[in-house]
Structure formats: structure tokens, C-alpha cells
């Protein structure tokens, strides 16, 4: 064969080879493009961190707000949120739910502090296993939790003391409903309240009863207090349903002239403020607590060191601020 024929043959073979290679490369790219959405979906599902929020009480509207905030932040950061909690306040069940979350190897758990040594051990165990723990609403400061997101409860108690002292003109008798005797957030609020009341010799705190964070029990305990101490001028509820329960009791036994101070901004509390049955309320930000706690988790997973505490804001609502802020008219 002549040299020329050889060259033509090699050139033809080269062209065939090059076009085969090109079409192979093009189809690989095409296949990759087609698979991309499926692959990235699988990776993101694999990477979706499993976060469990354990409430103090599952259907409590205050905890449902925390859940809502946590859910929205989880959606934003591609995490998968599971909401759990006892049907009625039950710290033993909160402990069991934390045990279950650890056994399920959750990536993170948001818990309420309950001031219990067994619970502290569990938090520490979870953290040593690489499970991120953040306390919400109530801190567990002796544990190795990464951060606390919630109200500065001691300060909130002092603010409440200031409201009562101002309304009392520094003189009078105060009775208190506390959500739960063991709950550290309630104890801190009570401590703050006592500190301020203690500064006025003619202002006295006559009794403290527990509502077990139940509206029904709050109404029952308030009624007992009002009957036992007919001279009470002021009643304070330190958890979300207490003020509503106190208002119900005062109405039931037709005790007018009593000034009621509440916590949180449940719809019924606002209705009672509008109608003047409740004097004012200290509003916490449960939605923000949930949202911020999950945002902090996201920072942690990105390798950031979290602040030991992240206080959410409180503000005071009374008839005047409600009317000014919403343009409502006085009832």
C-alpha cells in the first residue's frame, strides 16, 4: 500500500475514534445532567439533620408557638423537626423522651430545663455522643448543653415586681400563682418578684400556690387564695395560663377591684386586657425561642461556637399599649 493510502486510512480511523469519544463524552454529560436533581435530592435528604423538640406539655399553646418557630427555621435550614412532649406536665416523661431521643441517635435535641440530676446526666451523655443539646424556655445551667435560648427569667420577675409596685403605689398585699414549683424558670421569676417587693416595707407577698400550668387548677388555686385572703389587692400569674385562671376565679366569686398581672400573650389574656380584667402582661417570645434555637443549631453544625446564653426579648402589654399599637378603641 502506498504511503498516501496509509495516511488516509489512519486519518479516517482517527476521525471515527474522535467522533466516538466525543459522542461518549456528550452522553455522559447528558446522563449526569438528567441524574443531577435525583442525586442532589438524595444527598440533601441524607444530610437533613434530625432535630427533636421536647415540650413541657404537648398541646400547651405556648409550646405550640415554640414549635412553630422551630419548624419554620428547620424548613429554612433543611432540618427535619420532630415535636414531642407529655400530654400533661410530667417531668419524668420529659426524661424518658430525652432517653428515647438519644437512643434514636437524633442529631440535636431542644429541651426545657427541669432541674433534675438524672436529666443533667442525660444531657451530658448526649453531648459526649455528639448530639447537640440546646435548652429552650428554661435553662439547665449545670449541664453541658451548648446554649440556652429563652427569657432572662430573673429579670422578667423583677420587671413584674416593678409593675406591681407601680400599680400598688408601694403598698398592698400580693398573692402569686406559680406554674410549677420545680421549674427553674418559675423559681427565678418568683425570686425576681420577691427582690422588688422586698424593697417596699408596706408591700407584702402573702402566699404562693402552684397551678401545675393548668388553667383549671389556676382558677381553683386563685379562688382558694381570694377566699382565704379577702384583703388581697394584687394577684400575679407567673406562667402563661395563670392570669386567665385568676381572672376566671375573680369573676366566679365576684371579686372586683383586684388587679391581675399575667405572663405571655395568649389570645384570652389579650381579650382580658382589652376588657380591663387583666391589668398587664409580660410577653415572652416563644416563637422566637424556637426559631433562634434552630438557627443556633445551624451555626453549631457549621462549626461555630455558640454563646452560652441567648436571651429573647420581653415586653409589657397593657390596655394602653394594646390600643396604641393596634389602633384598637377602648371597650
Positions that interact with ligand BGC (CB under 6 A): 56, 60, 62, 137-138, 179, 185, 213, 239-241, 263-264, 284
Name the minimum Å distance from CB 29 to ligand BGC: 56
Name 113's Cβ contacts closer than 8 Å, sequence gap at least 6: 135, 137, 138, 139, 140, 141, 143, 148, 184, 185
In the bound state, the residue with its beta carbon closest to ligand BGC is: 240
Q: 52 vs 203, which CB is nearer to ligand BGC?
A: 52
Name the minimum Å distance from CB 61 to ligand BGC: 8
Q: 62 vs 291, which CB is nearer to ligand BGC?
A: 62
Nearest in space to 240 (alpha carbons), one of 262, 273, 220, 268: 262
Contact 283, 317 (CB under 8 A): yes
Strand 309-311, strand 315-318: pairing: unpaired
Q: 210 vs 284, which CB is nearer to ligand BGC?
A: 284
Q: 137 vs 152, which CB is nearer to ligand BGC?
A: 137
* Beta strand spans in the chain (E): 50-54, 80-84, 108-111, 132-136, 147-150, 172-178, 203-210, 234-237, 259-263, 280-283, 309-311, 315-318
Q: 68 vs 125, which CB is nearer to ligand BGC?
A: 68
Name the minimum Å distance from CB 242 to ligand BGC: 8
Name the minimum Å distance from CB 57 to ligand BGC: 6
Amino acid at each position: 500500500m502506498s504511503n498516501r493510502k496509509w495516511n488516509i486510512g489512519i486519518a479516517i480511523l482517527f476521525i471515527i475514534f474522535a467522533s466516538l469519544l466525543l459522542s461518549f463524552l456528550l452522553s455522559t454529560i447528558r446522563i449526569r445532567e438528567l441524574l443531577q436533581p435525583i442525586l442532589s435530592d438524595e444527598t440533601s435528604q441524607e444530610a437533613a439533620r434530625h432535630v427533636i423538640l421536647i415540650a413541657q406539655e404537648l398541646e400547651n399553646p405556648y409550646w405550640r408557638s415554640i414549635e412553630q418557630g422551630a419548624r419554620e427555621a428547620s424548613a429554612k435550614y433543611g432540618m427535619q423537626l420532630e415535636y414531642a412532649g407529655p400530654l400533661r406536665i410530667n417531668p419524668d416523661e420529659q426524661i424518658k423522651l430525652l432517653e428515647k431521643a438519644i437512643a434514636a441517635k437524633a442529631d440535636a435535641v431542644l429541651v426545657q430545663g427541669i432541674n433534675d440530676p438524672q436529666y443533667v446526666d442525660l444531657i451530658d451523655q448526649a453531648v459526649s455522643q455528639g448530639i447537640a443539646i440546646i435548652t429552650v424556655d428554661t435553662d439547665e445551667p449545670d449541664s453541658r448543653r451548648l446554649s440556652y435560648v429563652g427569657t432572662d427569667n430573673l429579670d422578667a420577675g423583677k420587671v413584674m415586681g416593678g409593675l406591681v409596685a407601680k400599680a400598688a403605689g408601694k403598698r398592698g398585699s400580693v398573692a402569686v400563682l406559680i406554674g410549677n414549683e420545680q421549674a427553674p424558670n418559675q423559681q427565678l421569676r418568683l425570686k425576681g418578684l420577691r427582690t422588688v417587693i422586698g424593697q417596699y416595707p408596706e408591700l407584702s407577698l402573702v402566699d404562693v400556690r402552684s397551678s401545675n400550668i393548668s388553667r383549671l387548677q389556676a382558677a381553683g388555686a386563685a379562688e382558694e387564695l381570694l377566699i382565704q385572703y379577702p384583703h388581697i389587692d394584687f394577684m400575679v400569674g407567673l406562667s402563661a395560663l395563670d392570669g386567665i385562671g385568676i381572672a376566671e376565679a375573680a369573676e366566679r366569686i365576684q371579686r372586683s377591684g383586684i388587679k391581675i398581672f399575667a405572663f405571655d400573650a395568649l389570645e384570652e389574656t389579650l381579650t382580658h386586657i382589652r376588657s380591663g380584667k387583666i391589668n398587664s402582661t409580660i410577653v415572652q417570645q416563644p416563637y422566637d425561642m424556637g426559631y433562634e434555637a434552630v438557627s443556633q443549631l445551624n451555626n453549631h453544625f457549621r462549626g461555630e461556637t455558640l454563646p452560652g446564653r441567648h436571651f429573647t426579648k420581653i415586653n409589657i402589654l397593657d390596655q394602653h399599649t394594646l390600643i396604641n399599637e393596634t389602633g384598637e378603641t377602648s371597650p
